[in-house]
């Protein structure tokens, strides 16, 4: 039984390129983002990985990245579930703002707290703790049972929703998880034990 779980952050989006807070806004991928997703799919295929099921968020940048990866894997019609539970962290009033402009408006220290603390919410938005509280029940109730049944699962989502999963998989604390960086288009390949803990983890890098 394989118990393979692969997490991939979507390719670079137009707002990533412009250094904007994105959250639940729905910009498309850049040309670089498309290439990152293609590379991710090709890398998974080169490892001999195939999948039984995929999960993604309700946002197009994650869905488009998944479509590109599945095309590269030769599995464009793979059964896929989409759910808001896997959406990026909602940055509230920060959404659409340039990060440098936000620092000028609220100050470097305050913006850093909003971005890198675990439980401090930006105005009208979610803290990382809130995102974890949204993502983990979906993981435990929907994604993890499929993996433990022996299905090979691919998840295309976002930096903060994937941080929430990594918090469990990598056994990270609220103090260490905010500093974890998840690069766009880089697959994280986990093999789980029967008790749902991690047996091996591979980061596929160019």
Percent of the chain with pLDDT over 90: 93
> For the chain, how long is the longest CA-to-CA vector?
53
More confident position, 180 or 69: 69
Bridge partners, 55 (sequence order): 81, 155
Go through the chain and tell me how many residues it has.
206
Query: Annotated active-site positions, please?
Result: 10, 88
Query: H or E stretch including 184?
Result: none
Q: For 101-133, what is each residue's pLDDT tens digit? A: 999 999 999 999 998 899 999 999 999 999 999
In CATH, what is the architecture of 4-203? 3-Layer(aba) Sandwich (3.40)
Cβ distance 8 to 43 under 8 Å? no
Torsion of CA 170, 174, 178, 181, to 10 degrees: -10
Q: For 57-90, what is each residue's pLDDT tens digit? A: 999 999 999 999 999 999 999 999 999 999 999 9
pLDDT at 62: 98
> C-alpha distances in angstroms, 166 versus 53, 94, 144, 179?
19, 25, 13, 12
Is the pLDDT score of 178 beyond 90?
no
Taking the domains of the chain in order of start, what are their residue ranges?
Answer: 4-203
Distance CA(50)–CA(192), nearest Å, equals 16
Distance CA(3)–CA(48), nearest Å, equals 15
Is the pLDDT score of 151 beyond 90?
yes
pLDDT at 17: 93
Is the pLDDT score of 200 beyond 90?
yes
pLDDT at 1: 78
> C-alpha distances in angstroms, 98 versus 19, 103, 203?
6, 9, 30
Residues 6 or more apart in contact with residue 185 via CB below 8 angstroms:
8, 9, 10, 11, 12, 33, 36, 37, 39, 40, 65
């Amino acid at each position: 039984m394989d118990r393979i779980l692969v997490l991939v952050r979507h390719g670079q989006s137009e707002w990533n390129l412009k250094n904007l807070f994105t959250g639940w806004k729905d910009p498309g991928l850049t040309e670089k983002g498309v290439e990152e997703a293609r590379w991710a799919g090709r890398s998974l295929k080169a490892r001999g990985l195939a999948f039984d099921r995929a999960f993604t968020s309700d946002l197009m940048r994650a869905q488009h990245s998944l479509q590109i990866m599945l095309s590269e894997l030769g599995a464009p019609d793979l059964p896929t579930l989409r759910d808001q539970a896997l959406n990026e962290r909602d940055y509230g009033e920060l959404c659409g703002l340039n990060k440098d402009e936000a620092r000028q408006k609220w100050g470097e220290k305050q913006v850093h707290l909003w971005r890198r603390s675990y439980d401090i919410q930006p105005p009208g938005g979610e803290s990382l703790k809130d995102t974890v509280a949204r993502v983990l029940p979906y993981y435990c109730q929907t994604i993890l049972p499929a993996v433990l049944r022996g299905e090979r699962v691919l998840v295309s989502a976002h930096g903060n929703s994937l941080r929430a999963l990594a918090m469990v998989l990598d056994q990270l604390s609220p103090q260490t998880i905010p500093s974890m960086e998840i690069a766009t288009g880089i697959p994280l390949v986990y093999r789980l034990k029967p008790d749902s803990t991690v047996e091996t983890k591979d980061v596929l890098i160019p």
